[in-house]
């Protein structure tokens, strides 16, 4: 606290930085609602397209509105051919989230209406990004594996097309349901670091592509979007149910962080995790490969028993993505391909009620120093 009573809130923890009508989050009671709809009612039942419509329009679509919205997204899916070529030019050592950040920036440059403001123009750009992120992530996955990049299949809805572009196969119902559920659960989470970064950029009245580039950049950090692949590495490293207790005991004795456990906001359970656990179980059954479900649940049970820590969204999303064929290196890119819906919803809300975001810093450096010209220092 400074002499005049001004307090610095480190990390802005607990600070209310804006009003929003997108997401209600109660970490103590483990409640997550999108536009007033409880996540438990929608996570495993609706398609991602419905969630995106809900984010952008503030209400769920009617059947006609949904089919019109679905058609629009299908028409916007194919990224410019130059973007795909640019992805092939990226050095193989470049970080996959750096590749995605570059791709979004490139996408913005390719749009002749990039500087067009106004709700309709921004809504179209938001839909374009939601439609094209999966195409870009799937293209990155295929380029990284030396495979041909595939075109979107206009016959398939969003999640099924994503899996088709990733694997080259038409997915079964269990895989499509699992991907829709994961997309629904990552779509939005109030004022997390990347969403705040998006709102800061929009607050300057910069364009929505620049704002989403900031969102991708913030999500790239290991304290935000980077835990999901580490969670899968943990499950793979443990490897078998018999190894769970010795592995966890050793990790705790060495005071290592268990990735995919704990949460800054949720203290009694991450509202999203049980739905992803259901999806891991369904995929274990549909693929006939129970191993990752068995190991993951055994780790969760033992970590709760030993430390009382909760499994967070990343913990069960990791084996879902692994079962679905996403390369480990692209798990955070997958999160971005869902969260882009929330970022754009916040961008639209910020444009509608904009005020430049410009906090102050408490100065703690030296003052009133005596100046001397360079030759006298
Ligand atoms: C998410 C996270 C940063 C929240 O941290 P936080 O708010 O400081 O957590 P808490 O205050 O509830 O921690 C309470 C205790 O549990 C420990 N703890 C929290 N998460 C832990 C984890 N994943 N593994 C081991 N111990 C953990 C803390 O070290 C602390 O121990 P102490 O009391 O002995 O100091 C932290 O849980 C974490 O780093 N998790 C792993 C990374 C991850 O999964 N991130 C994705 C989040 S969606």
Question: Which two three-digit tokens encode residue 305?
Answer: 């028993």
pLDDT digits (tens, 9 = 90+) for 5-48: 689 999 998 899 999 999 999 999 999 999 999 999 999 999 99
Atom nearest to 261 CA in ligand 1:
23
Residues in the chain: 377
Would you place residue 267 in the very low, low, confident or very high pLDDT band (cuts 50, 70, 90)? Answer: confident
Atom 30, ligand 1: residue with shortest CA distance: 262
d(CA 333, CA 202): 22
Distance from residue 262's CA to the centre of ligand 1 (Å): 5
For the annotated catalytic residues, the residue numbers are 263, 314
pLDDT digits (tens, 9 = 90+) for 119-151: 999 999 999 999 999 999 999 999 999 999 999
Please state the pTM of the whole predicted model: 0.95
Would you place residue 315 in the very low, low, confident or very high pLDDT band (cuts 50, 70, 90)? Answer: very high
For the chain, which domains are there? Answer: 20-220+328-352 (1.10.580.10), 227-324 (1.10.230.10)
Distance from residue 181's CA to the centre of ligand 1 (Å): 25
- Please check the confidence at residue 4 and state whether its pLDDT lies above 70: no
Atom 36, ligand 1: residue with shortest CA distance: 262
Atom nearest to 251 CA in ligand 1:
25
Q: What is the mean pLDDT of the chain?
A: 96
Residue 108, ligand 1, Cβ within 6 A: no
> Which residues, 6 or more positions from 272, have their beta carbon under 8 angstroms from its beta carbon?
32, 39, 43, 185, 312, 313
Phi first, then psi: what are they for 192, rounded to 5°? -70, 175
d(CA 257, CA 247): 13
Beta pairing partners, 23: 34
- Please check the confidence at residue 175 and state whether its pLDDT lies above 70: yes
Q: What is the pLDDT of residue 6?
A: 81
Q: What is the pLDDT of residue 5?
A: 64
Q: What is the pLDDT of residue 1?
A: 56
- Beta carbons of 202 and 66 less than 8 angstroms apart: no
Residue 258, ligand 1, Cβ within 6 A: yes
Question: Which two three-digit tokens encode residue 69?
Answer: 């919205």
Residue 263, ligand 1, Cβ within 6 A: yes
Residue 225, ligand 1, Cβ within 6 A: no
- Please check the confidence at residue 257 and state whether its pLDDT lies above 80: yes
Alpha carbon dihedral 228, 30, 184, 13, in 10-degree steps, equals -60
Atom 14, ligand 1: residue with shortest CA distance: 262
Q: What is the DSSP letter of 280?
A: H
Residue 334, ligand 1, Cβ within 6 A: no
- Please check the confidence at residue 65 and state whether its pLDDT lies above 90: yes
Q: What is the pLDDT of residue 226?
A: 78
Distance from residue 282's CA to the centre of ligand 1 (Å): 29
Residue 330, ligand 1, Cβ within 6 A: no
């Amino acid at each position: 606290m400074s002499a005049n009573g001004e307090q610095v809130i480190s990390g802005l923890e607990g600070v209310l930085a804006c009003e929003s009508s997108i997401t209600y989050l109660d970490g103590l009671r483990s409640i997550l609602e999108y536009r007033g709809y409880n996540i438990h009612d929608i996570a495993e039942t609706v398609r991602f397209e419905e969630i995106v419509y809900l984010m952008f329009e503030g209400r769920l679509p009617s059947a006609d509105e949904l089919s019109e919205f679905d058609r629009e997204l299908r028409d916007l899916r194919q990224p410019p051919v130059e973007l795909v070529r640019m992805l092939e030019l990226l050095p193989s050592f470049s970080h996959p989230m750096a590749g995605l950040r570059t791709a979004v920036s490139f996408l913005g440059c390719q749009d002749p209406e990039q500087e067009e403001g106004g709700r309709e123009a921004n809504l179209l750009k938001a839909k374009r990004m939601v439609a094209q992120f999966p195409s870009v992530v799937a293209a990155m996955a295929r380029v990284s594996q030396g495979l041909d990049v595939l075109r979107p299949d206009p016959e398939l809805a969003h999640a099924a097309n994503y899996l088709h572009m990733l694997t080259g196969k038409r997915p079964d119902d269990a895989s499509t349901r699992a991907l829709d559920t994961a997309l629904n659960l990552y779509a939005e989470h109030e004022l997390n670091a990347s969403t705040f970064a998006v709102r800061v950029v929009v607050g300057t009245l910069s364009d929505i592509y620049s704002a989403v580039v900031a969102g991708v950049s913030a999500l790239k950090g290991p304290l935000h979007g980077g835990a999901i692949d580490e969670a899968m590495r943990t499950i793979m490293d443990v490897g078998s149910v018999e190894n769970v207790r010795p592995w966890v005991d050793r990790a705790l004795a060495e005071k290592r962080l268990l990735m995919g456990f704990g949460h800054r906001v949720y203290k009694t359970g991450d509202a999203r995790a049980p739905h992803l656990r259901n999806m891991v179980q369904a995929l274990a059954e549909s693929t006939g490969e129970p191993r990752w479900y068995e190991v993951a649940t055994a780790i969760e049970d033992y970590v709760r028993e030993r430390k009382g820590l909760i499994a967070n969204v990343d913990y069960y999303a990791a084996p879902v993505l692994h079962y679905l064929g996403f390369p480990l290196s692209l798990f955070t890119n997958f999160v971005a391909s869902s969260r882009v819906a929330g970022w754009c919803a916040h961008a639209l809300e910020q444009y509608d009620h904009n005020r430049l975001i410009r906090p102050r810093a408490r100065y703690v450096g030296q003052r009133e120093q005596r100046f001397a010209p360079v030759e006298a220092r």
